Amino acid sequence: MLPYILFLLIFFLSGSSPVSGQVDPDKNGSLGQLSLAEKWIVQQVSSGKVADLQQHFGQGEKFRQVRARFLVKLLTDGLEGVRIPYPGIRIMQAVVTGSFDLENAEVNHWVELLDCRFQGEVNFRDCLFKKGLTLSRDQFAQKVEMQRLRVLLSANISESIFQQPLDLWRAQIGGVLIADGLRSEDASTGANFSSMTVSQAVFFRKAVFMGPVNFSGSKIGDVGLFIGTAFAGPVDFFGAEIGSQLVIMQGQFRAAANFGNVHVGSQFIADGARFHHPSEPVNFNGLRVSHSAAFRGTAFAGPVNFVTAAIGSELQFDGARFENTSQEVNFNNLKVSQHAFFRGANFHGPVDFIGADIGGEFVAIKSRFLCPSQAVNLKEIKVGATAYFWEATCSGGIDLSGAKLLNATIGFAAENSGSIIGLTLENAVVERVLKIEHIQIGQLAARKLTVKDGAYLTGVRFQEKADLRETSFSLLNFQEVAWPDRDDSLWLEGMTYQSVSAGEGGDDWKVLLAWLDQGRYDSRNYNLLETFFKQGGHKDRADAVFIQGKRRQVQEKWWRPDNLATLFFWDLLAGYGRRPERTFWISLVIVFIGMLVFDERSFDPTFVSQWNWLRQEGKAKTVVFRFFLSLDQFLPGIDLGLAKLWQLSQISFRELVYYHFHKISGWILIPIGLAAIYSQFK
């Protein structure tokens, strides 16, 4: 037994291998004599074991050095007499010297080079690994070129450090690519994964990139995980395709980031990510996500672009922060098939949603739009369900001009009312219900607004201006609303509605009339309200509205003589034809006064002597006589036979003055009364 052990020891010290395949240096070309470490690697690999050089040779790098040319020969079956068993080539803690060149080579074995340090350049261009490749926890001092590298199974470069550029342009990985904890330290060229194809998933969790990173045009069959990854330089994913999920949660982006035209088969998740640069753009232009996209708690320090992005289900920005006060956040022509959530989001600068198309709800509950110089720009936005701006801070106001909404709710809870500088709803269309509640609005611009169902305004105060010209409502209901009290600040011209209400009480119609009086004059407004009351069976209210409308028309230029006459004779005496009873009662009063003034003693005595009942001075008869006498004097064009018997020469001066007043009143009141009655029939 002892001689056999001594024989093995001599073989080991002499560099010979006790395995069946022995290496002949003369048959390995320019490789020459193998080093002790290389011989030991051959021994371990040939036995199907892991070659851990540090475990065998200790910490010193001198004894762990391996020539790159040796590894090339080993990986490509260039060492005669060496057969690699199924476990493949597994080497740990090697220090690889020289350039590692596998360009155009084919590697038939599993290859694992763990915790190794490569001192020279690494070239895997157009190399084919028919099984897997692992370069985990390795250090690469020079550039690593892997253009068009092909790995039929999986590749692992996790926790490896690349001090110079890393290039995997058009690389093809048949399984997964694992790069968790990877460090790319080259600040100028960085890492290139453009046009790379990975059949399954890629993992870059907590990876660190000190320079630019390029994933443009890459194709990932399943999931791309970049959780907690740090990007110090610009990142480019333009045109990348991910079959299922792209996850950049908690990612740190310190330069420009381009996700333009990225296609994601299911979900894009960027919760908690932070884009630090205040001026470099973050681009999601043309992003396509088949299901949902989430940016909950994500922070953007610079400009953001989601122009023409398309989300198949939900878009979530709850708690997101857009921190730049001058750079724009652009969602123009964004398309979301279901809901868009911005609950508690903060926008410190301008934001645009022009032409966005939201299939479900647009929710901006407790969001803060803090740019004072520009309104939240929602021009021509489409919302298939309800647009909520509830308890939202909008320092520059809200612009919904040209919007098409199913429902819209704007305002605050009653106990927590708020304010906005302006609300623009010009040419907007609300298919069902518009609610504006408990809010103070500086200026309302709602010209040509259409609400096809009901518009409900509750506890709203308009401060400076309210423009409702040419608006159209099926139902308009406002309660506890304060309209602008400045001159020429409430515009209602051309407004139409089928039903209108200012509360539940019996005097709400007076509020409506006062509302019209407060606005700029337009006869159409009074005609419409009059028709509404008339159709509801409230003729008295309709008449009051008609009178007030006519009165305002005359009062616009009250100083004109014809208008002054109209105000006195047609307005005061007959209510523009709607109060004919006024002339009757006034006329009756004048006739009664005439009964007191016109004494029968002023008649011609010759005729009076023939009326025995007058001489008998019966009181009732006298009253009747005086009534008809006064009436005969009052009625123009009608002769009762009494007035012509009455002698003017027999009366006093005062009676004469009243006589003329009596006659003139009749000439005025009777035609006015007849005209008023005629207008009623008409």
- Which range of 211-215, 325-329, 611-615, 622-626 scores highest in mean pLDDT? It is 211-215
Residue type, 270: A
Task: Decide if 60 is inside a domain.
Answer: yes
Structure confidence by residue, pLDDT tens digits, 525-549: 888 888 888 888 887 887 777 777 7
Burial state string for 26-53 with b = 16 or more CB within 10 A and e = fewer than 16: eebeebeebeebbbbbbbbbbeeeebbb
- H-only helix segments in 86-210: none
E strands of 589-630, at which residues? none
Give the mean pLDDT of 223-242: 97
Query: Does residue 617 register a pLDDT over 70?
Result: no
Is residue 644 classed as helix, strand or coil in its secondary structure? helix
Q: What is the mean pLDDT of the chain?
A: 86
Instruction: Please report whether residue 52 resides in a domain.
Output: yes
Q: Which two tokens stand for residue 639?
A: 């002769």
Read off the DSSP letter of residue 328: P
- CA-to-CA distance for 537 and 88, rounded, in angstroms? 97
For residues 666, 669, 671 and 674, what is the CA-based torsion angle, rounded to 10 degrees? -120
The pLDDT of 326-336, averaged and rounded, is 95
In a domain, 171, yes or no: no
Residue 27 in domain? yes
For residue 225, being part of any structural domain is answered with no
Which one of 97, 126, 146 terminates a domain?
A: 97
Per-residue pLDDT, 661: 75
Structural domain that includes position 31: 21-97
Helices 68-75 and 36-46: angle between axes, nearest 10 degrees:
20
The rounded distance, in Å, linking the Cα atoms of 175 and 425 is: 54
Average pLDDT over residues 9-36: 51
> Stretch 216-221: mean pLDDT, rounded?
97
Can you tell me the distance from the alpha carbon of 410 to that of 338, in angstroms, rounded to the nearest whole number?
20
> What backbone phi and psi angles, to 5 degrees, belong to 429?
-130, 120
Total number of domains in the chain? 2
The answer as to whether 77 is a domain residue is yes
Q: Taking the model in full, what pTM does it have?
A: 0.82
Q: Quote the pLDDT of residue 642.
A: 59
Q: Give the helix/strand (H/E) hosting 451.
A: strand 450-458
The answer to whether residue 605 sits within a structural domain is: yes
pLDDT bin (cut points 50, 70, 90) of residue 675 is low
Q: Let me know if residue 541 belongs to a domain.
A: no
CB-based contacts of 111, cutoff 8 Å, min separation 6: 75, 88, 89, 129, 131, 132, 133, 134
Give residue 253's identity as a one-letter amino acid code: F
First to last CA, the chain: 137
Q: Final residue of a domain: which of 74, 97, 120?
A: 97
Domain C-terminal end among 71, 97, 123:
97
User: From CA 299, how far away is CA 276, in angstroms rounded?
Assistant: 8
